[in-house]
C-alpha cells in the first residue's frame, strides 16, 4: 500500500498541522496549506482514509493513525537529511534548500537514506534546527521557547526557526542571527514587544516581535 507523491505531501501537511497543536485539522486549513481548493482536499481525505493513514469521519474531522504518523515521519526524515546534505556538502545557503528537498524527499530507496545518513554522520538536526527523526520515527526534540517570550537578562542559544522562507532566512543571515548563536535579552519594549538582544557577546541587534516569534531558543 504505497502512497503517491501527492498523498505523501498531504500526509506530511496533516502531520505538521496536527503537531502544531491544532486539535483538529480542518479541510480549509489543509486547503490553505496545500494551496488547493477545499473540494480537492475532501476528495484526498477520503482516499487517505481508505488507505488507513488517517481516520476520517466526514463533516467531523480527521486524526492521523499510527501508520500515517510513521509514514509522515519517514518523509520528514528524508526531507531533513537532504537539507543537511545540500548545506553541508553542496554549499547551499539555508534559504535555498527547501524546494529541492521537497523533491528529493519523494525518492524511494531505503538503502539510499541509510547510506546518506551515515555519510552525513547521523545528524540530529537539519539546517533550520528541526530534529531529524531516526529510522524508527523517533524524534529527539529539545525544549525550546520563542525568543519573543523571553525576558530581560535571560540568555540562551538560537536552535531553530519556525519560518523557513527564503526572505526570513536571508534577513537572519544579514543580521547574524544564525543557528548556534548565543544571545542575551538586553531590552524589551512593552508597547510593541520588540527586543534588543546581544548576539555572541559582541553585536547589538534590534528585532520586531514578529521576527522574534519565529526564532526558537534553548535557554541557559
Q: Which residues bind DNA (CB under 7 A)?
A: 4-7, 10, 26-29, 34-47, 56, 58-61
Of the pair 4, 114, the CB lying nearest DNA is at: 4
- Residues 126 and 82: their CA atoms lie apart, in Å, by 9
Q: Which stretch binds its own copies (CB under 8 A): 21-29, 99-107, 125-133, 145-153?
A: 99-107
* 140 in contact with its own copies (CB under 8 A): no
Q: Which is nearer to DNA, 45 or 113 (CB)?
A: 45
- For the bound state, the minimum distance from the C-beta of residue 5 to DNA, rounded and expressed in Å, comes to 6
Q: Say whether residue 96 binds its own copies (CB under 8 A).
A: yes
Please, which of residues 155-184 interact with its own copies by CB under 8 A? Answer: none
**Three-state SS for 131?**
strand
Nearest of 35, 18, 132 to residue 76 by alpha carbon: 132
Nearer to DNA, 46 or 142 (CB): 46
Least gap, CB of 100 to its own copies (angstroms):
5
Which runs of consecutive H residues, i.e. helices, occur in 20-163? 27-34, 38-50, 66-88, 98-104, 110-119
**How many residues can be counted in the chain?**
220
Closer residue to its own copies (CB): 88 or 146:
88
Select 29 or 163, whichever has its Cβ closest to DNA. 29
Query: Shortest CA distance to 199 belongs to which of 211, 183, 175?
Result: 183
3-state secondary structure of 56: strand
Among DNA, its own copies, none, partner that 20 touches (CB below 5 to 8 angstroms by kind): none
**What's the DSSP call for residue 180?**
T
Among 100, 139, 145, 218, binds its own copies (CB under 8 A): 100
Residues 6+ apart with CB under 8 A from 193: 148, 208, 209, 212
Residue 22 contact among its own copies, DNA, none, beta carbon within 5 to 8 Å by kind: none
Distance in angstroms (rounded) separating the CA atoms of residues 170 and 174: 6
Find the shortest distance in angstroms from Cβ 1 to DNA: 11
Query: CA–CA separation, 14 vs 56, rounded Å?
Result: 12
Residues near its own copies, by CB under 8 A: 86, 89-92, 96, 99-100, 103-104, 107-109, 111-112, 115-116, 119
Amino acid at each position: 500500500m504505497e502512497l503517491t507523491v501527492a498523498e505523501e505531501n498531504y500526509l506530511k501537511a496533516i502531520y505538521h498541522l496536527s503537531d502544531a497543536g491544532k486539535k483538529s485539522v480542518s479541510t480549509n486549513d489543509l486547503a490553505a496549506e496545500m494551496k488547493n481548493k477545499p473540494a480537492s482536499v475532501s476528495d484526498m481525505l477520503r482516499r487517505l482514509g481508505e488507505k488507513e493513514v488517517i481516520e476520517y469521519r466526514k463533516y467531523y474531522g480527521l486524526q492521523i493513525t499510527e501508520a500515517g504518523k510513521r509514514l509522515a515521519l519517514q518523509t520528514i526524515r528524508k526531507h531533513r537529511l537532504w537539507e543537511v546534505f545540500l548545506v553541508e556538502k553542496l554549499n547551499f545557503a539555508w534559504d535555498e534548500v527547501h524546494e529541492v528537498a521537497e523533491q528529493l524527499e519523494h525518492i524511494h530507496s531505503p538503502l539510499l537514506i541509510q547510506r546518506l545518513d551515515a555519510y552525513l554522520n547521523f545528524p540530529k538536526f537539519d539546517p533550520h534546527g528541526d530534529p531529524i527523526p531516526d529510522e524508527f520515527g523517533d524524534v529527539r526534540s529539545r525544549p525550546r521557547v520563542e525568543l519573543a517570550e523571553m525576558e530581560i537578562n535571560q540568555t540562551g542559544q538560537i536552535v531553530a526557526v519556525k519560518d523557513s522562507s527564503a526572505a526570513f532566512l536571508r534577513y537572519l543571515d544579514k543580521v547574524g542571527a544564525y543557528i548556534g548563536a548565543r544571545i542575551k535579552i538586553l531590552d524589551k519594549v512593552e508597547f510593541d514587544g520588540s527586543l534588543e538582544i546581544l548576539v555572541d557577546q559582541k553585536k547589538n541587534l534590534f528585532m520586531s516581535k514578529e521576527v522574534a516569534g519565529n526564532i526558537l531558543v534553548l535557554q541557559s
